[in-house]
Amino acid sequence: MRTRAIGKRQVGVIGLGAMPMSVAGHMPDENQSIRTILAALDAGVTLVDTADAYTPSHTDVGHNERLVARALSLWGGDTGSVLVATKGGHTRTPEGWGRDGSLDYLRKACDRSLKALGVDSIGLYQHHRPDPNVPYEETMGALKELHDAGKIQMAGISNANPEQIRLARAILGDRLVSVQNEYSPRFRSSEPEIDVCEELGLAFLPWSPLGGIGRTGETTERNAVFTGIAAARGVSPYQVCLAWELARSPVVIPIPGASRPESILDSVRAADLELTAEELARLNG
């Protein structure tokens, strides 16, 4: 698979979002999840995205991280070529999802992720979501501390606006390598963040990159363009969606979620799909 840069690392242009393997009520059995991750790795995927908060229950924080770690331990390939990206700062409690961007919490969260992943240093550690009760400067300072302590090799942020991206860059410097925001045919509001990432040389990792494809309602007309081009090309609409995102900017690296081998293998084929200028114009319309 062709590659793109995250910091000084090169990863395949299509990554794997592991979250669907840990969603309560929808998660597959562990064997299927392991097969899915191994199929992705065998197909050339070298970026796997997870988070401590991806868990079916607040009693099992780190579930998804441990699943990824187990799959890597079973893979016969070069695990050193795989960049595992995890996140901290989104909490799971009996009341549901919460946020904690404090220095003390992120120290504890990072240590817990190190243990769950079974590593001494995390390849890419991302702050999951801004905490309105903690100054963003403090949270970025926590990432800087974790990096300088050797606990993380690269830092990223998620769900950040352009101002937060620039502030993070000012505090973290070259330690900051990526931004992970929602972006898909249905959700295009992250266009300004993509432009800032391209300006600053940061990777942009769209989460939920297939959002809207195959759905009905307000996105039907837009979906029709994607499905029409897919039918003409003899590929899936999901491949067209990912190829459209790859064409948006050289810093974009989609991380489609999957819980079946067939799903991620279909997404991987988007790496070889080149859309024409006319097709892109229609998709951008």
H or E segment at 83?
strand 83-88
What is the number of residues in the chain? 285
H or E segment at 70?
helix 63-74
Using an 8 Å Cβ cutoff, are 112 and 94 in contact? no
| SS3 label, residue 79 | helix
Query: Which of 54, 105, 125, 183 is labelled catalytic?
Result: 54
Using an 8 Å Cβ cutoff, are 214 and 223 in contact? yes
145, amino acid identity: E
* 125 tagged catalytic: no
Q: Tokens 């309560």 — which residue?
A: 24
Query: φ, ψ for residue 4 (rounded to 5)?
Result: -140, 165
Two tokens, residue 280: 């892109």
Phi-psi region of 49 (alpha: psi -120 to 50; beta: other; left: phi over 0): beta
Check residue 62 and report its DSSP letter. Answer: T
Would you name the residues annotated as active-site residues?
Answer: 54
